[in-house]
Amino acid sequence: MKKLILILFILLSGTGFVFAQGGWKLSTEKDGIKVYTGRVPDSKIKAIKVECKVEASAAQLVALLMDVNNSVDWISRTKSCRLIRQVSPSDIYYYSEVNLPWPAENRDFVAHLMVTQNPDTKVVTIDGPAVRGMVPEKKGIVRITSSVGKWTITPCGYQLVKVEYTLHTDPGGNIPAWMVNIFATDGPLQVFENLKQQVKKPAYKNAVVPYIQDSPDGLFSKL
C-alpha cells in the first residue's frame, strides 16, 4: 500500500494547485527537499507542499515537465503517457495510465498543463488540473477527476531555481483517506530526487524554451 500511495503522487506530479487551510506543517526533510502537509476544507485527504532548490534554469524545468511523452522514462510504473491536444507550446492536454500493484486497479487521468511567466520577476507558474472528458473512461481503470496543484519555479541564482509544488488529489476507488494521509509524504521525496537527476540529461540540460526567459545576472531572487 505504501508503494500505491507513492505512485499516486507520482502520476499526478504534473497537475494543479491548492491552498491548505490553517497553514503548512513540516512533515519530512531530506537532501534539501522539504515536504509539508496541510488540511483542505471539506476534504479528509491532506494537501502536500514540496520545496527544494534545483541546479537548473527555469527553462530546463519547464522543458522537462512539459515533455509528457517521455515521462515514462523517469516516472516509475507509468504504463502510458501521451499528449492528446496542444493548444500552444505552453498549453497542453495529456493522458496517462499508471500500473498499480495488485489488488488495486490501475488509475488514469487527463490533465491540462498551462505555463505562465511573470515578465518582471521571471517566476514561472505551471497549473494543471485534472479535467473530465477528452478520453473515454475504460473498464477496470479508476479515472481520477479530482486533483489540483501548482508548480512555482523561482530563479535564485545562475543555473539555480527554487521549486515549490503543491498538490491535493483524491485517488478515487476504495482507498481510505487515513491511509492516503499516512504515506502522502513518501512519494514527493522520490519524485524530486528523480527530477534533480532527470533535468541534467542532454535533452533538458541545454533546453531553450521560446516562451520562457531566464533571469539575467543581478536579477535573481534571494530566496
Per residue in 86-98, pLDDT (tens digit) is: 999 999 999 999 7
d(CA 148, CA 146): 7
Helix (H) or strand (E) holding 81: strand 78-88
Task: Identify which of 109, 106, 154, 132 has the alpha carbon closest to the alpha carbon of residue 14.
Answer: 109
Task: Identify which of 67, 50, 39 has the alpha carbon closest to the alpha carbon of residue 150.
Answer: 50
Dihedral (Cα; 179, 3, 112, 123), 10-degree rounding = 90
d(CA 135, CA 84): 9
Reported confidence tier of residue 214, pLDDT bands at 50, 70, 90:
confident
pLDDT (tens digit per residue) in 165-213:
887 766 666 654 444 544 454 567 777 888 899 999 999 988 899 999 9
d(CA 23, CA 53): 21
Q: Does 117 have pLDDT greater than 50? A: yes
d(CA 15, CA 129): 5
Reported confidence tier of residue 17, pLDDT bands at 50, 70, 90:
very low
Q: Where is mean pLDDT largest: 28-37, 52-61, 186-195?
A: 52-61
Cβ distance 170 to 147 under 8 Å? Answer: yes
**What is the pLDDT, as a whole number, of residue 170?**
65
Q: Does 150 have pLDDT greater than 90? A: no
pTM assigned to the model: 0.82
pLDDT (tens digit per residue) in 129-143:
889 989 999 999 989
Q: Does 64 have pLDDT greater than 80? A: yes
Three-state DSSP class for residue 20:
coil
Burial of 212 (0-12, 13-18, 19+ CB in 10 A): buried
- Cell numbers at 13, concatenated: 506530479
**What is the pLDDT, as a whole number, of residue 139?**
93
Output phi, psi for 125, to 5 deg.
Answer: -120, 135
- Mean pLDDT, the chain, rounded, equals 80
- Cell numbers at 187, concatenated: 512519494
CA 49-65-122 angle, 5° bins: 75
Reported confidence tier of residue 63, pLDDT bands at 50, 70, 90:
very high
d(CA 45, CA 131): 19
